[in-house]
Structure 1
Amino acid sequence: MQPTPPVNYGVILFPGFQALDVFGTLDVLNILSTSRHLNLYILAASLDPISTKHNMSGCPSSDFGESVVPTHTFTDPPVDLEVLLIPGGRGTRDEEAMKPVVYFVRDTYSKLSYLLTVCTGSAVLARTGILDRRRATSNKKSWAWVTAQGPKVEWVPKARWVVDGNIWTSSGITVGMDLIYAFVEHVYSGKIAEDIANASEYERHVDPNDDPFAGIWKAGA
């Protein structure tokens, strides 16, 4: 029996978020919204446009990035949020900038039906304490840094995505696509997920344990 499908989705943005973590995942829901009633909320610390550019040291000062305009702030969020997505990106390493995200997620989680993370978004979630004693995964290239953010988390080094209760965490960047397809299959149906993937000409990975990058980056070694 399929669970009751959610309607109200939210995505958290912060400076230096990873573009594909957000846009790849949301595009699956964009297509789904042509046949199902869905609402999307974009949350950030302010209503100013949020860029994928970051201010981390040690990187070229390229003037290159995309900006998204939020619909809500963390201090004035939608009251009916059901699904929340936390992306990763270089910005997750800026602990001071991420504090409002951590506080918001910590205060909001109990009201959610589902919480999804892509890439190092699980490191942000780990800082809230919500992942303590839960299974989770993350970007394998950044494995050592991510796992240090949550020493009480049961980190799974070889996994494309991990489901523990209503929390879904995924590995690096592109795997967010496989996560959201698996989520759509779980909540809506396998046929709907397959139809969207075929319409997008996307070849899904359907095995959550199919993770060659754990070996490439020696995650957990």
Structure 2
Amino acid sequence: MTEIQPSAPLVFRWQEARIAAIAPVTARVKSFRLAVAFADGYRAGQHVDVRLTAQDGYQAQRSYSIASAPDGSGTIELMVEGLEDGEVSGYFFDVAAVGDVIELRGPIGGSFSWDAPDGGPLLLVGGGSGVVPLLSMLRRRALAAPDLPALLIYSTRTRTEAIALAELEARHRDEPGFTLVLAVTREAGGRRIGSDTVAAALASLGSPTRVFVCGANPFVSAASNHLVAAGLARGVIRTERFGG
């Protein structure tokens, strides 16, 4: 769902993807299952470029993180937020129907991706829709490395806006070695991710060998600074940013 700026020109070819299923995630976010040829050949955390072409030839393009993990279904999942004046997200949220065919290319992204051989412990930090590629990593962990220690710090404005919260809380309850730390910023008693949050997470998880941070630019900068101040080397921290 993470909508970021279009990727720089790449060698990946554009290909067709058919919408196989649509489901609500939150009031502002929908899930789209897309049947596409590479569905079982990508890494958790990667993204795709989506291109729409109007009848007059006008094209709009955006990048979206993949929420799913390779599972043999022949599909990938995108989570798209309906943004005001969003050309691509507007189509997805207001027009798209099961059976529609769109163009996409990918999977894209090498450093911001994870698979079981990469190991852990795994520390994930997401803000808002930045949780989507991290959700992909957690889903992959559950399939391929369920004993790997992992912790997700997830910052969201309200619980109702939190993406896949029921799934994340179920994983926290049922999966040994996984911990969810939820920071709700705009509800009574809310809090932002700070040095105390990071310190408590590291005390619980231990020293992570893989760290991924995703969200809007200010969030990623602040979270990364807290991680470095807590003693983590910048070289182990991978970031993905979107928006302003």
With normalisation by structure 1, the TM-score equals: 0.37
Query: Greater strand percent: which structure?
Result: 2
Query: Which structure has the greater CA radius of gyration?
Result: 2
With normalisation by structure 2, the TM-score equals: 0.34
